[in-house]
Amino acid sequence: MSLKKLKAELLADLEGKAEYQRIKPRFDVAKAILEMRRTLALTQRELAEKAGIKQSHIARIESGKQSPRLETIAGIAASVGYTVEFRLVPMDQASEDGLE
């Protein structure tokens, strides 16, 4: 079964959709950090050194296993010349592509 089909099945269920919406921000952050790091051609260790944190912390963030504080995200971004932009979007207008 493809990830897309599995996601569609989960979102068809009200409890599945609620859980997806609960965890989606964590995976959006993970995806953004990972994409930024890859764009800069940095290893997790190199990014961690620049940000002054442990490589394992970067790994947990990128895997979605840890929800970092906003200050941590901003610190990681700033350490490599990026900034964080934050916005709130009504759920019915939000993109649901975080796990695709």
Tell me the Cα Rg of the chain.
15
Tell me the pLDDT tens digit for each residue of 84-93: 998 888 877 7
Which residues lie closer than 8 Å to 2 by C-beta, 6 or more apart? Answer: none
11 has a pLDDT exceeding 60 = yes
9 has a pLDDT exceeding 90 = no
Note the pTM of the prediction, 2 decimals.
0.78
Q: What is the dihedral sign for C-alpha 82, 88, 91, 94?
A: negative
